[in-house]
Amino acid sequence: MWLEADCNLSSGESFVRQFLYGKQFFKNEFGVDSKVMWLPDVFGYSAALPQIMKLCGVDYFMTTKMSWNQYNRIPCDTFLWRGIDGSEVFAHMITTTGKEAPLDTYMTTYNGSLKPSDVMGAWERYQQKEINNDVLISYGYGDGGGGPTREMIEMGRRLSHGIKGAPKVRFADSRTYFDELYERTKGNKSLPRWVGELYFEYHRGTLTSMGRNKRSNRKSELMLQDLEFVSILAENLPYPKNELDSMWETVLLNQFHDILPGTSIKEVYDVTKVEYEELSKQATALLSERLLAAACVTGDMAVVNTLGYERDDIVFIIPDDITANALEGGESISPCQKTHDGGNIAYVSGVPAMGALGLKFVDKEFDNPISIDGLNIDTPFYTAQFDEKGFISRLLHKETGREVLVGDIKGNELRVYEDRPMRWDNWDIDVFHTEKSWLVDDTSEVKWLEFGPVRATLLVERKFLQSVIRQKIHFYADIPRIDFETYVDWKQSQLLLKARFQTDIKSPAATYDIQFGNVERPTHVNTSWDEARFETCAHKWADLSEGGYGVSILNDCKYGHAIHDGVIALTLIKSGIEPYPQTDQEEHFFTYSLLPHTGDWQTGGTVRSAHNLNTPAYAVPIASPADAKTDSFSYISTNSRNVMIETVKKAESGEGVIVRVYEFENTRTKTTMTLLNKAAKIYEVDCLENRLNQVAENTNEFTSEIKPFEIKTFELLF
């Protein structure tokens, strides 16, 4: 990889780039194709990784960190690791025990020694002696960068000659060890298999600590993907390959497993703040220039959609671009509404997949489908009641007739928990954090801020000690999301802020968005393994559904979730004190959304709603309307609801265009993709863009079978 990246928070496309840039570096600098994913110290490993590793030419996986588990011991050290799509990689966990550690310990280290007692400890600790008698020892002072000492090397030399009662030591590189171990154990019926994520039963606070950095990472990942695609559309401008490489390297660097998780010192976050701001400024300038060139449609303005499906969504428009109270595009006319801050918002339907729609300004009067009465609101989707504190006391989902909120917890309850872990403050949330908490009910203002045919917005401002929490709660006329646009000026330490919603949904498992797919986790604590998962990772969404009905929670930059016994909780701020005493004591900006739905999350449209929240469509003035020959276009689309077009970029070779897709409903699918322009040749490639086979030629349409949760990448030559 580019470096030892966090494997919970980094996006799927970031994983691909970690391998792409990392393997390119090894090949360019050393002439070596690295086959070992060496991640000793990362805080858990996504179930998406085995497939990504295989598609990036990585055969072996190594860690030590899983031995730190708080409650449960992973029952194997050498095993096959199977991901969500069925891909398997060969894995080994180092069994080196800590210096002077008792032989019965199961916690291991990458900071090993080569003293006879430690070498013996590594052998005694190993669990698969019936199939293998070689163990791997990582020795030296790793955390401090000191490396091996002369004393350690001399110990190893002496042990290499064989000492009675001690394992014989041999110096070799990790690739040699893994090649030999694989040949020795492959096909052995006793070789264990671990299926799914490697959840780390510690350091759960890393899903939330240093929220500003996590937000900047999410926004940067998505902005660079947008820039890559729009740069393909803007054919008359040079593709910014060098700039993109530099910006991606900054993003990948800051995904280091102590930077992105929020467990570094203050000086690190002073630097990343500047780096992310500079990246945003540079990417925004490049993107704005290319959006103007790409918006080659007829009309007064264009909406550019960088997502891989036709979307009906809310669009934000700068004030100067509006000369009427409605927009006409395609076969619909939609109202425009002035926002409280002087901007404009409109609902636009039928924006083509990875393409653009031209809109004209028109004047038309609309009936308002939203009505408000005091603190109550009625929309086409919901009837909602707020109490005087600004909490939702009732929320009726009209389509199903279900009361969304059931129980003692009011909707959008903001609750602060005492967060004093036993150690590793910014790393950990301990299971007892729920035992002491306070409701954030010091409400200073509740009032309707906006009311129009597009949306109604309730402003709720609260105080907690010296902190201020200000939320704009948006209800829409045409989309079923309820958005909680949030600003927090946080002044506290060792206090954890969560938003909670209580439902009466009966389901033994909830579903969580991860890289290139999703996983289910239990909502109960039947076993110690269940109990350990009291805080878990999701990316853009999580969902709790029963037959015929469910509720999803979406977010634009948060990762820590807890769904148990019908209660859906999203962790918003952590504010630990070590190693950075003022962690999270600053301004925060984030949005999370509630999405009740009919059916399960698949039929409820959760995935697309979450992507819409995270990747808004762009409203673009049309620079040269006379040059446009069409009122809309789609660069590429798929006919399958469950196939996401994730990435469109220039090939690393500079010759063609790379398109990466994945299946996200665990459904085997034959999907057909349609291109705007005819491709001379279409190849399937791996994630490093090596050609695997030719798919089609001289066509603007091709079909491919995609397996459940499979990632597929294509190279298009025009």
User: Which amino acids are annotated catalytic?
Assistant: 41
DSSP 556-573: SS--EEEEETTEEEEEEE
Q: How many CB atoms lie within 10 A of CB 373?
A: 8
Residue found by looking up tokens 């902190």 in the block: 467
Q: How many CB atoms lie within 10 A of CB 505?
A: 23
590: helix, strand or coil: strand
Residue found by looking up tokens 């085995």 in the block: 50
Q: Give, in degrees to the nearest 5, the angle at Cα 129 between 123 and 133.
A: 65
State the pairing for strand pair 618-621/376-378. unpaired
Q: Are 182 and 191 in contact (CB under 8 A)?
A: no
Using only the alpha carbons of the chain, give its radius of gyration.
Answer: 27
Q: How many CB atoms lie within 10 A of CB 409?
A: 19
Cis peptide before 579, with omega less than 30 degrees from 0?
Answer: yes
- Rounded CA-CA distance 467/59 in Å is 49
Q: Are 414 and 462 in contact (CB under 8 A)?
A: yes
Length of the chain: 718
Name which of 475, 554, 460 is nearest 511 in CA terms.
554
Name residue 469's beta-bridge partners.
462, 488
Query: What is the number of H-type helices and E-type strands within the chain?
Result: 10, 39
393 residue type, one letter: S
Q: How many CB atoms lie within 10 A of CB 500?
A: 16
Q: Are 75 and 92 in contact (CB under 8 A)?
A: no
The sign of the torsion formed by the CA atoms of 442, 445, 446, 452 equals negative
Q: Are 443 and 390 in contact (CB under 8 A)?
A: yes
- What values do phi and psi take at 133, rounded to 5? -125, 20
Which DSSP letter does residue 39 get? Answer: -
Name residue 684's beta-bridge partners.
693, 714
List helix spans (H) across 564-714.
Answer: 606-614
